[in-house]
Amino acid sequence: MRADSILFPTEAGLFCPQGGFHIDPLRPVERALITHGHSDHARLGHGAVMATAETLEIMRLRMGDGFAGSVQVAEPETRIGGVTVGFHPAGHVLGSSQISVTAGGCRIVVSGDYARQPNPTCAPFQPVPCDVFVTEATFGLPVFRFPEPSTQVEKLLASMAEFPDRPHLVGAYALGKAQHVIALMREAGYDAPIAIHGALKALCDFYAFRGVELGALVPATAEDVAAQLVIAPPSAFASPWVQRFRDPVIGFASGWMAVRARARQRGAELPLVISDHVDWPALTGTLAELAPAEVWVTHGAEDGVIRWCELAQIPARPLRLVGYEDEAE
């Protein structure tokens, strides 16, 4: 069976007619399979949603109880219509999965967003042999080679020691990145309370409930915040909330921080290259490891990945799905 009749891009996103579902649909659909809880992948208003228990809970926390008509916790393997669907850890954020769709002896794996670096906050990426691998390409250029996260945490700790009187505000995406940064600090032995912006509280609580060690967290909403390290979502840095801090060092934790112009645009004084996506070596390494018959590229720097596939003689094509933010870090 031809892969592109099993699964193909539509205006609403990737669609599987035999199973009657979309994967990470961009607009409300009848049946949605969701890879992970980031808002550009997990949207409001679908009829039925299937995702991991963690992703469903994250969606409920972010969008409220009635975020979908009905929900179903994904099994490692399920039959839907004429296809077999599987959920496999993607190593991106808590609950994140790749979704495999198998029909007529052809298996397509939709990676969603994924990462290969060890991440203390979620299960590691699990390679699934497949005929077609659908990859993201957020950081699909050879300039993106992320350092060991521990080196970035050392950089942050060094700055906190260099400027002990200045609060350090680190911008980190509310789902995944914020908890990742906190967990990395804890791994490095930092055990002082860390202040978190109110927008992070529910998700941090959930991560802690699922057993991720985040240590003592205090609110960063008081007039006088009792912590040198403060984690907040990037959007908070444009709001008057920042004004309560005296002479802060502003950092951002993101893969984009690897490029200076991007870090400057953000107004970062302390760029921290911490990502929950694959960098170039991990992305191309994954393609080499899986050696699929074909690669489809969903979003990001498709041109770079497609050029690499051309050099590696793997057929590849862009899906040109519009709606996934490349800023989703």
Span near another protein by CB under 8 A; candidates 47-55, 108-116, 137-145, 204-212: 137-145
Least distance to another protein from the beta carbon of 268, Å? 6
Structure-block tokens of residue 309: 């596939």
Instruction: Closer to another protein by CB, 79 or 264: give it.
Output: 264
- Contact between 250 and another protein by CB under 8 A: the answer reads yes
User: What are the beta bridge partners of residue 297?
Assistant: 135, 318
The only residue of 26, 263, 297, 321 in contact with another protein, by rule CB under 8 A: 263
- Contact between 162 and another protein by CB under 8 A: the answer reads yes
What Rg value do the Cα atoms of the chain yield, rounded? 20
Contact 270, 172 (CB under 8 A): no
The only residue of 216, 235, 265, 285 in contact with another protein, by rule CB under 8 A: 265
Least distance to another protein from the beta carbon of 251, Å? 9
The only residue of 268, 316, 321, 328 in contact with another protein, by rule CB under 8 A: 268
- Contact between 271 and another protein by CB under 8 A: the answer reads yes
- Contact between 317 and another protein by CB under 8 A: the answer reads no
Least distance to another protein from the beta carbon of 283, Å? 13
Contact 194, 217 (CB under 8 A): yes
User: Which DSSP letter does residue 239 get?
Assistant: S
Task: Name the one residue in this structure whose structure tokens are 């720097």.
Answer: 301
- Contact between 8 and another protein by CB under 8 A: the answer reads no
- Contact between 241 and another protein by CB under 8 A: the answer reads yes
* Direct distance between the N- and C-terminal alpha carbons of the chain, in angstroms, rounded to an integer: 36
Least distance to another protein from the beta carbon of 218, Å? 20
The only residue of 14, 71, 99, 141 in contact with another protein, by rule CB under 8 A: 141
- Contact between 274 and another protein by CB under 8 A: the answer reads no
The only residue of 10, 307, 319, 323 in contact with another protein, by rule CB under 8 A: 307
**Buried/exposed code over 259-282 (b: 16+ C-beta within 10 A; e: otherwise):** beeebeebebbbbbbbbbbbbbeb
Using CA atoms, how far apart are residues 100 and 63, in angstroms rounded to an integer?
26
Structure-block tokens of residue 2: 């031809």
Task: Name the one residue in this structure whose structure tokens are 């609580």.
Answer: 205
Using CA atoms, how far apart are residues 272 and 64, in angstroms rounded to an integer?
32
- Contact between 267 and another protein by CB under 8 A: the answer reads yes
- Contact between 304 and another protein by CB under 8 A: the answer reads yes
Residue 304: its H or E element: helix 302-311
Helices within 172-269 (DSSP H only)? 177-187, 201-209, 260-265
- Contact between 282 and another protein by CB under 8 A: the answer reads no
Residue 55's SS3 state is: helix
Least distance to another protein from the beta carbon of 72, Å? 40
Structure-block tokens of residue 53: 């228990």
Least distance to another protein from the beta carbon of 235, Å? 13
Task: Give the binding site for another protein (CB under 8 A).
Answer: 141-145, 147, 155, 159, 162-163, 169, 237-243, 245-248, 250, 258-261, 263-265, 267-271, 301, 303-304, 307-308, 311
